[in-house]
Amino acid sequence: MTDPAPLSPSTHTPPRRYRASGKVILLGEHAVVYGHPALAAAITPGCEVWHAAPAAPGLSLTIAAWERTFRPDDASDLGRALAALAETLGVTDAALEGVLHLPGGGGLGSSAALGVACARALLGGDDDLERTLAGALAWEKVFHGNPSGVDHTLAALGGVRRFVKGEGASRVGLRRGMTLVIADSGERASTRDMVASVAAQVAHRPAETRRTLEAIAALVRNACLALPEGDFKTLGDMMNLNQMLLSSLLLSTERLETLCAAARGAGALGAKLTGAGGGGCMVALCPDEAATVARVTAALTALGAPTRQVEVTP
């Protein structure tokens, strides 16, 4: 019997993974479209993209979990978004593969995270923030028409940030970490339609609707003062008030109201829908004690909602 051949070290190195975050809007969605500030926190992991061995020349993006490959000429939103991104970055050939760690269309910024991760993969790194943001904005426009930019900016920068359309994002200092419990209503609505429904209200009832949007902006300003003090009670109050104002803009649903009420009943300091509304996810702010987080999670789970816990660190 001969000795087995010595094991040679593997020459295969796994492809580099390019990552981007999801986000949860704590306050200010929709008002942000009209130039008011929003407060948002990045969620990781959001999504990962890497270069695969190309099966054919040209551009492609494969999402194995969906058993689909998207190409610029296939007329799908993702195919068109890939085309817009690649054109902005001046890239013509790349076979990308991606994995999403967030539910799609639920208000957690999954499309922006994918756009930013694809931009980073096409650029070969995350050094060129300006081109990453420009490419991801072109990508986001395919899905949302005229996005404020909060999603892809948070996807690229991470952290907890105050965002203003056209101005960008500034970091909001946190005195201590906070725990969020996010629950998926299971309902879905298009961001484009929800943004259009607010635009219709601005057109038909300009004074009232603008007052509501300004009231939302005031909540964001208060929360940005409260967070560096570690004052989560105020942030929670602002979230509850924001939910009422979003409801008055017809952006909530019965299911979202039920989930918010259950979270508050179980001890959350504040709860609201997050993102475009009409369904999607809700976010509950939990005080520090693990017991409250567990109670809020149990209350939401009892209503059949998938939940996830997010730790937001200073």
Element (H, E) at 98: strand 94-100
Is 77 designated active site? no
> Using CB under 6 A, which of the segments 30-38, 76-84, 217-225, 292-300 binds ligand PMV?
30-38
d(CA 108, CA 46): 9
Q: Is 255 near ligand PMV (CB under 6 A)?
A: no
For residues 41 and 195, which CB has a smaller minimum distance to ligand PMV in the complex?
Answer: 195
Please confirm whether the linkage preceding 147 is cis (ω < 30° from 0).
Answer: no
Minimum distance of ligand PMV from residue 75's CB (angstroms): 22
Q: Is 161 near ligand PMV (CB under 6 A)?
A: no
> Using CB under 6 A, which of the segments 26-34, 71-79, 127-135, 259-267 binds ligand PMV?
26-34
Return the residue of 46, 103, 107, 270 that touches ligand PMV, per CB under 6 A.
Answer: 107
Minimum distance of ligand PMV from residue 196's CB (angstroms): 11
Spatial CB neighbours of 199, under 8 Å, sequence gap ≥ 6: none
In the region spanning residues 109 to 128, those forming contacts with ligand PMV, defined by CB under 6 A, are: 109
CA-based angle 310:312:314, to the nearest 5? Answer: 165
Nearest Cα to Cα of residue 52 among 89, 15, 100: 15
Minimum distance of ligand PMV from residue 147's CB (angstroms): 4
Q: Is 162 near ligand PMV (CB under 6 A)?
A: no
Spatial CB neighbours of 110, under 8 Å, sequence gap ≥ 6: 22, 46, 47, 100, 102, 103, 104
What's the alpha-carbon Rg for the chain, to the nearest Å? 21
Residues near ligand PMV (CB under 6 A) are: 29-30, 32-33, 107, 109, 144, 147-148, 150-151, 191, 195, 275-276
